[in-house]
């Protein structure tokens, strides 16, 4: 993603979904959704960036679309190995913690995303796997998280040492948190992962670490693309082959370990547009192959632009109904 316009740093919910239990962490009570109504948190949790543009209230998104879970972005380094929202806002006591509380009170849950394209990354700021794992654990503990997403891009993914550190840290976190969902999200070529991304998969295989999902972002290909659905599926098929080969497993098993994170409307590239019809085609592919994750960047942009406004942090640059892409995500159940 080069320009990074979008990467700077349904139905009403049923009464049953609103039934909650309470978990207490560091003196704070966090409502958690009743297990009888839940699916894996990361399976269909669109990204929303509360520190960017004109973000919608997450509970309003949930009530309008029927989507149950939300991926909130991004946790960055506040300095050295200290986590903060967007590298600035505190973990506790602020608007982000309040948003998480409101999502859970409405019967949903959150997947917290670390990284992204811009800003200072914890993967580079924390100098050892143990230190990085401890930082991830701080965020997990503060919010009683059931899911985390590591969006590894830019300088994080370009450094072999950082890639190895991130994988080693996540292996520690997985051992300490059985059942925690972990997604590793990265860019892709049209045919599948590039060499840097393949090294992440190889590093994980070497230490016996398997995340819940290896999630590709099939956009920003640096070349004109006329059919973003076909290319996205082609990239996912390439990832499937790579995982099957590396892990010595069948294509069907590998599909259950991958995810697609698209971008709605006009992407960061002027010659790429992901339409609602494209997204529906990707949904059908995800359903047919039972992918681990189907999501997109971002809810902030999932609405038409107004007046002279074109693609921005608050709209997707195409003619669409509000929440058209989030409505599609809400249809995904594995």
Residues recognised as catalytic: 153
Tell me the C-alpha to C-alpha distance, in Å, between residue 251 and each of 182, 239, 244, 256, 258.
Answer: 21, 10, 6, 9, 11
Q: Output the six-digit token pair for 297.
A: 């960047």
Cβ contact 110:68 at 8 Å: no
B/e letters for 143-167, b = 16+ CB within 10 Å, e = fewer, are bbbbbbbbbbbbebbebeebbbbbb
Q: Three-state DSSP class for 11?
A: coil
Locate the DSSP E strands across the chain.
20-25, 28-33, 47-49, 69-79, 82-85, 109-116, 147-152, 181-187, 213-217, 258-263, 265-266, 273-274, 293-297
């Amino acid at each position: 993603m080069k320009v990074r316009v979008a990467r700077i740093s349904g139905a009403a919910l049923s009464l049953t979904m609103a039934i909650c239990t309470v978990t207490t962490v560091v003196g704070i009570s966090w409502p958690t959704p009743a297990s009888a109504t839940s699916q894996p948190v990361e399976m269909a949790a669109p990204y929303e960036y509360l520190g960017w543009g004109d973000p919608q209230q997450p509970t309003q998104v949930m009530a309008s679309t029927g989507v149950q879970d939300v991926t909130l972005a991004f946790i960055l380094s506040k300095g050295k190995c200290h986590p903060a929202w967007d590298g600035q806002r505190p973990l506790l006591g602020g608007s982000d913690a309040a948003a998480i509380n409101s999502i859970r009170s409405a019967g949903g849950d959150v997947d917290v995303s670390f990284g992204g394209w811009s800003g200072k990354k914890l993967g580079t700021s924390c100098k050892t796997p143990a230190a990085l794992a401890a930082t991830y654990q701080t965020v997990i503990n503060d919010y009683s998280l059931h899911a985390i997403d590591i969006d590894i891009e830019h300088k994080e993914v370009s450094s072999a040492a950082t890639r190895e550190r991130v994988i080693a840290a996540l292996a520690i976190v997985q051992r300490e948190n059985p059942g925690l969902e972990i997604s590793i999200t990265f860019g892709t070529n049209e045919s599948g992962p590039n060499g840097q991304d393949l090294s992440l998969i190889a590093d994980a295989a070497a230490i016996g670490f398997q995340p819940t999902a290896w999630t590709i972002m099939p956009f920003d290909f640096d070349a004109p693309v006329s059919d973003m659905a076909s290319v996205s599926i082609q990239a996912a098929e390439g990832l499937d082959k790579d995982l099957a080969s590396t892990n010595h497993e069948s294509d069907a098993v590998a599909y259950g370990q991958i995810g697609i994170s698209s971008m709605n409307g006009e992407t960061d590239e002027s010659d790429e547009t992901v339409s609602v019809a494209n997204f529906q085609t990707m949904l059908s592919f995800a359903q047919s192959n039972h992918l681990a994750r189907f999501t997109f960047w971002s809810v902030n942009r999932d609405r038409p632009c107004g007046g002279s406004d074109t693609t921005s942090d608050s709209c997707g640059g195409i003619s669409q109904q509000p929440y058209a892409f989030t409505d599609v995500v809400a249809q995904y159940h594995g």
